[in-house]
Chains A and B, each alone.
Chain A
Amino acid sequence: MASVVAAPASGPVAAHRGDRLFGVVLAAAALAVPLLLGGLLLALLAGAWPAVQRFGLTFFAGSTWDPVTHEFGALPFIYGTLVSSTLGLSMAVPLGLGVAIFLSELAPGWLRVPVGFLVELLAAVPSVVFGLWGIFILVPWVRSVLTPLVKGALGFLPLFDGPPLGIGMLAAGLILAIMVVPFIVAVGTSVMRAVPTTQREAALALGATRWETTRRAVLPYARSGIMGAVFLALARALGETMAVTMVIGNVPQIKASLLAPAYTIPAVIANEFTEATSDLYVAALIYTAVALFIVTVVVNAAARLLVGRAARDAVLGE
């Protein structure tokens, strides 16, 4: 009896103190994440500072990258990053949406789980393994099969000009398409599943076929979420490093042809960072990283906004 009486006397105070302390520890851990992000941005800016001071924004307009004469312009890398990502997305988006429609609307129940799981596994394959496969299987195939094929059909276009090297923008775009497609499938499937069933039933009740229902009732409803999926995939493609480095050819040039070698921002950092001899060279490389970081943050933020509240927690949380 005594203990029961004694407990309220000391209990609440002790518990209160413990709770407060525990809350502070948890809050500190949560606070560490934004601090880390701020520290990341500050560290990058500090590292890039000599190049920021020297070149300012003209850095992004210059197309000469010559460490010997200390002339650094990032345009070829920006061009390569944007074009390879766009090329990858132009292949990945239709395919990914097709799979998403398949998984959320059309596939029989017994097929959904295994197909969804296999697509997830594709996302788990490390980038360097895609690169290895790219060097030894994809690039020779592009050189000996795909290039003659597109040259035969569309060779008059400047888009497919030049010798069949295999390495280059086309190979990079193909490998990026394979690597970002799982993100489009994952986000696309969940935003389509988030479409209310009544929406489908209404269309079906009006006599629409399954495909008409998908096209007129599901896809418009999920449109912003689908855009979010595309943006998420774009952010991944922009930052992808190893696989692209291994197949794009790593030549800082701006050529109209998709068969020509190119270079991207992550690839130039991966290749040249340990060889950068002068402080300005290092700073210039970090400056490109700052630009990449800001762009991926903006694209990711756009993706999150578009996917919206309904599907966000299920998808972007991964």
Chain B
Amino acid sequence: MAALAALCAALVLAPLFLILVFLTRAGLGAVNLEFFTSLPGPAGERGGGMANAIAGTVYLLSLAAVLGVPLGVLGGVFLAEYPHIRLTHLARFAADVLNGTPSIIMGLFAYILLVLPLGHFSALAGGVALGVMLIPIVLRTTEEVVRLVPSSVREASLALGIPQWRTTLQVVLPTAAAGIITGIMVGLARIAGETAPLLFTAFGNRFWNWDPLKPMAALPIQIFAYAISPFDDWHRQAWAGALVLVTMVLLVNVAARTAAGRQLRLR
């Protein structure tokens, strides 16, 4: 019986290894300096890179963080510090619903909210779509981490006559900071690979762009466009892009996991 269960584990983990093996084999050859420094080449020709898509992904993540991090952290602190009121239950429920909502629906939301009124696709709309996805992730991890701060720490601060708001800002939050930052990093890693909500918000762009109101390239969109293209060289670049994306996402997850492990030991 244990053997059967172990076989299940092996079967479930096999795709992970297969994906990593094929990613490395097909992608490594196309990951070079040009890949990180040049714009996409013309259709069907060799060469070119994904520099603008990598920069675009970072840009979109920054926009998402500007929207998602403050709302998520402040809301999460509220949930942890006022655990038994109606608004807390409502906000927690709403966050869980948002968390389970398909990402493509976030894209439609940003489309209706920003693309339609402005009349064109934009990095801003993409950032909002990703930011809306980031809020519930950051909110729930912040809540968990702040709740772990021992009440003796709060009581010590309050006993010294420090008002509650300064206790929260200067004692509770710094204590929980490592965990909150870990949560933010994992959340960013999770939305970094999102493609569906960007298809009709940030839309993609084959050139450099720093204007938030113009369409912007992103690594996942570029991988998708290249994967379904008919050109071999673009397929190679799609593998390379995927290898870069997966490496980033997995590194952040591993780092977060080790950081969280260390925190647990310290506690």
Contacts and interface: CB of A to CB of B under 8 A. Distances in A.
Contacts of B16: 118, 121-122, 125
Interface centre among A98, A235, A240, A297 (most CB of B within 10 A): A98
B18 A137 contact: yes
B15 A178 contact: yes
7 contacts: A32-B75, A37-B97, A37-B98, A99-B9, A128-B223, A241-B102, A303-B100
Nearest to B106: A40
Interface of A: 7, 11, 14-16, 18-19, 21-23, 25-34, 36-37, 39-40, 43-44, 46-47, 94-99, 101-103, 105-107, 115, 117-122, 124-133, 135-137, 178, 181, 185, 210-211, 214, 232, 235-236, 238-242, 246, 266, 269-270, 273-274, 286, 289, 292-293, 296-297, 299-301, 303-304, 313, 316-318
Nearest to A299: B100
B221 to A, nearest CB: 8
Nearest to B5: A102
A30 B144 contact: no
Nearest to B222: A128
Given A241-B104, A274-B200, 13 more contacts: A44-B105, A44-B108, A44-B109, A95-B11, A95-B12, A106-B1, A124-B189, A126-B194, A133-B22, A239-B102, A239-B103, A241-B196, A242-B220
Nearest to B74: A29
B36 interface: no
A-B CB proximity, top 6 nearest: A126-B193, A239-B102, A98-B8, A15-B163, A22-B165, A29-B74
A46 B71 CA distance: 26
A260 to B, nearest CB: 20
A67 to B, nearest CB: 16
Contacts of A16: 163
B91 A300 contact: no
Contact of B90 (A34, A99, A303, A318): A34
B5 A99 contact: yes
B26 interface: yes
Contacts of B77: 26
A181 B9 CA distance: 11
A33 B88 CA distance: 10
A29 B164 contact: no
Contacts of B5: 98-99, 101-102, 105-107
Contacts of B23: 129, 133
- B interface, by DSSP: helix, strand, loop or mixed? helix
Contact of A135 (B2, B8, B195, B227): B227
B6 A246 contact: no
Contact of B108 (A34, A232, A246, A286): A286
Given A19-B165, A137-B18, A274-B200, A127 B195 contact: yes
A106 B120 CA distance: 56
Nearest to B15: A178
B235 A293 contact: no
Contacts of A46: 112
B108 A289 contact: yes
Contacts of B2: 102, 106, 210-211
B199 to A, nearest CB: 6
Nearest to B21: A137
